[in-house]
Amino acid sequence: MSVSSAGNGARQQVFVLVGGTGDLAMRMLWPSLAMLDQDGFLSDDLRIISVAREDCGTEVCVDRIGTAVTKRIGDALEPDTLARLRKRIVHVALDAAHDDWGAKLKAELGDIDRLDIVYFLSVSPSLFKPICEHIERAGLNKAPNRVIIEKPIGRDLATSKIINDSVAHAFDEARTFRIDHYLGKETVQNLIALRFGNIVFEPLWNAQSIDHIQITIAETVGVGERLGYYDEYGAIRDMLQNHLLQLLCLLAMEPPAALSSDALRDEKVKVLKSLKPITAENVLTHTARGQYGPGFADGHPVAGYEAEKGSPSNTETFVAIKAEIANWRWAGTPIYMRTGKCLPSRSTEIVVQFKPLPHSIFGPEAVANRLLIRLQPDEDISLTLMNKAPGLTAEGMHLQSLDLSLSLVKAFDSNGDKPPRRRIAYERLILDALNGNNAQFVRRDEVEAAWNWVDGIVKAWTDTHMKPQMYPAGTFGPVSGYRLIERDEGRTWND
Ligand code: BG6
């Protein structure tokens, strides 16, 4: 497929990647652009401007991009993809501290009235304000131009408002695309398909039939190079405020009236606003904080977070929360969430645990149904059902559980032997932003409602002096993480 200037009539599309030589750009964004190009999703005349402080010149910049793309997705690259991508790219050295930022970019852009510009600010949020000001002062912010920004959108509600206000000065809400890369993941998008494309789940999708839900995002890696950033944020701000709460919203929201961006996001906001506050009164039973100590994770010995930092720290690298949603659908059915670094395995999964039968004619052999949705490392959805154990026994009939499994890779394996390429989450999101579709981006009121709830938890930690408990690297978090769920009778994490 080959397209020209998608979405905005005769205007030529320009993708301005600010932070074009940075880590995220090299690991994720350039490889995503390369794949979109290869698959024919970029308009033929789309130009890409890489912006960075570094004056490395276009030749060096595209060489580095070529190396990074090959490293990330070399197996999937077709022979002419890199050459085509290279032709689109120009690197411009600009320093946000200098007043000529906008003028220099404008000179590179050419006739801006004929352009449809998408900015991706892959830089520290402290630069969002000066960069948006440069863009605005140079008149480069007018519709249909839009901006993509990424977390951390603040450290709390107050700081997120400052960031959002500074961006809003240049770009209205409809043209502000806040990325949560989890929303670009195939299986996360599939949650919407699963819930609202099938009738079988909806009548059971409530507190009457569901005992509880678990969401786990476990990582084997530690904080590594990002210690400076991480120590300021911790697991609650780095992962829970955004990725985990987005998953919670998709699982708990009411069916939207349409797949349009506002219909979807209105429903997500309602969930966030229905979360019961966690306060000093219940913070001990509803949250767990941990920090990895010495141990062994991801195949390597780990010195421990404080040893890596070289000084004491109160930052949590593990957090578990029991969330309760105060509405008719979910009252009485908690959602347990946890995430951490240096855990024993890398996995992201959701467990929807159904209630036991109201009356079992099979005795205790009948185990409650469970829906398991795995996002990582592989994508899989399986429903545990009770079955008659095959064969004949003197005592009569026995039950056994059986998984009805939908391996997404196998299900959509088109040619029988080669599994479809697993897309980078940013591919979907960059494509949507190019096409002006913001349904899978986070709206300002969502970010703020999420911060509002998270701020309450952080305050409760401070008020009760609740410090992170040490867990050995390579284990599933501190004891308090287990207690959080096991305190509620009959419930355990699906480790
Ligand atoms: C990022 C966090 O948003 O998500 C990182 O800042 C984390 O700390 C990463 O490692 C996890 O993303 P994924 O896609 O690897 O699960």
Beta strands 335-340 and 210-218, pairing class: parallel
The answer to the question of residue 156 being in a domain is no
Tell which atom from ligand 1 comes closest to the C-alpha of 348: 16
Ligand 1 mean position, distance from CA 81 (Å): 28
Domain boundary among 126, 150, 174: 150
* pLDDT at residue 163 in the model: 96
Q: Nearest 5°: phi and psi at 4?
A: -130, 135
Question: Same structural domain for residues 345 and 211?
Answer: yes
My answer on whether 257 and 302 are in the same domain is yes
Asked if residue 316 belongs to a domain, the reply is yes
Alpha helix (H) residue ranges in 361-423: 408-411
Domain residues for 350? 183-423+444-486
Q: Is the peptide bond before 144 cis (omega within 30 degrees of 0)?
A: yes
- Minimum CA distance residue for ligand 1 atom 9: 239
pTM, entire model: 0.94
Q: Is residue 168 part of a domain?
A: no
Residue pair 46/52 in contact (Cβ under 8 Å)? The answer is no
Residue nearest ligand 1's atom 8 by CA: 238
Q: Is residue 428 part of a domain?
A: no
Distance of CA 338 to the CA centre of its chain: 14
The answer to whether residues 477 and 380 belong to one domain is: yes
Q: Is 135 exposed, middle or buried (0-12, 13-18, 19+ CB in 10 A)?
A: buried
Q: Do 385 and 344 share a domain, yes or no?
A: yes
User: Which pLDDT score is estimated for 36?
Assistant: 97
CA separation for the pair 320, 336 (Å, rounded): 7
- Ligand 1 centre distance from Cα of residue 450 (Å): 18
Residue 254's CB: how many other CB atoms inside 10 A? 13
Q: Answer yes or no: is the C-beta of 427 below 6 A from any ligand 1 atom.
A: no
Instruction: From 181, 220, 247, 447, give the residue whose CB has the most ligand 1 atoms within 8 Å, as the site to mutate.
Output: 181
> Both ends of the chain: CA-CA distance in Å?
44
Atom of ligand 1 nearest to the CA of 243: 3
Q: Are residues 215 and 121 in the same domain?
A: no
Q: Phi and psi (nearest 5°) for 282?
A: -120, 10
Exposure of 464 in the CB half-sphere (CA atoms within 13 A): 19
Residue 431 within a domain: no
pLDDT tens digits for range 96-116:
999 999 999 999 999 999 999
Residues 108 and 208 in one domain: no
Single out the residue of 174, 181, 92 nearest to residue 134, CA to CA: 92
- Specify whether 209 is located in the same domain as 333: yes
Q: What ligand 1 atom has the least distance to the C-alpha of 238? A: 6
Please tell me if the CB atom of residue 219 comes closer than 6 angstroms to any atom of ligand 1.
yes
Q: What pLDDT score was predicted for residue 3?
A: 42
Among 151, 153, 227, 238, name the best residue to mutate to test ligand 1's pocket (greatest count of ligand atoms within 8 A of Cβ): 238
pLDDT at 396: 85
CATH for 314? 3.30.360.10
121 and 65 part of one domain: yes
Count of structural domains, the chain? 2
- My answer on whether 132 and 201 are in the same domain is no
Q: In terms of C-beta distances under 8 Å and separation of at least 24 residues, what long-range contacts does 167-173 make, across chains too?
A: 167/128, 167/129, 167/132, 168/444, 169/132, 169/133, 169/136, 170/132, 170/133, 170/135, 170/136, 170/141, 171/132, 171/141, 171/145, 171/146, 171/147, 173/443, 173/444
Element (H, E) at 37: helix 30-38
Atom of ligand 1 minimally distant from the CA of 182: 14
The residue written with tokens 């959002």 in the block is 164
Strands (E), 142-286: 146-150, 176-179, 210-218
Please report how the helices 30-38 and 425-434 are oriented relative to each other, as an axis angle in degrees rounded to 10. 70
Distance CA 31, CA 76 (A): 10
Which residue, judged by its Cα, is nearest atom 15 of ligand 1? 219
Tell me which of 122, 219, 346 to substitute to probe ligand 1's pocket, judged by most ligand atoms within 8 Å of the beta carbon: 219
Q: 303 and 220 share a domain?
A: yes
CA of 429 to the centre of ligand 1 (A): 16
283: phi then psi, degrees, rounded to nearest 5:
-65, -30
Show the low-confidence residues of the chain (pLDDT under 50).
1-6
From the list 91, 134, 181, 243, the catalytic residue is: 243
Q: If you search the block for the tokens 């240049």, which residue do you land on?
A: 170
pLDDT of residue 395: 81
Residue 361 lies in a domain: yes
CA of 454 to the centre of ligand 1 (A): 18
Distance (angstroms) between ligand 1 centre and the Cα of 239 equals: 7
Asked, for residue 166, whether it belongs to a domain, the answer is no
Give the pLDDT score at 16: 98
Longest dimension (CA), the chain: 87
Our separate counts of H helices and E strands in the chain read 17, 17
Q: Yes or no: say if 340 and 318 are a contact pair by the CB < 8 Å rule.
A: yes
Q: Is 91 considered catalytic here?
A: no
432 lines ligand 1 (CB under 6 A): no
**Is 466 part of a structural domain of the chain?**
yes
What CATH number does the domain containing 58 carry? 3.40.50.720
- DSSP per residue, 232-253: HHHHIIIIIIIIIHHHHHHHHS
Contacts 24+ apart (CB under 8 A), 481-485: 481/288, 481/290, 481/318, 481/320, 481/338, 481/340, 483/288, 484/285, 484/286, 484/287, 484/288, 484/320, 484/321, 484/322, 484/336, 484/338, 485/214, 485/320, 485/322, 485/336
Q: Give the phi and the psi of residue 347 in degrees, each rounded to 5.
A: -155, 145
Pairing of strands 287-293, 469-472: parallel
Query: Counting atoms of ligand 1 from 1, which one is nearest the CA of 185?
Result: 14
The torsion angles phi and psi of 12, rounded to 5 degrees, stand at -85, 135
Using a 6 Å cutoff on CB, does residue 238 contact ligand 1? yes
Contact 290, 339 (CB under 8 A): no
Tokens of 93: 């050295």
Alpha-carbon separation of residue 366 from 353, 398, 411, 417 (angstroms): 14, 9, 29, 37
Nearest Cα neighbor of 446 from 178, 140, 209, 80 is 178
Q: If we measure between CA atoms, which residue out of 229, 240, 306 comes closest to residue 468?
A: 306
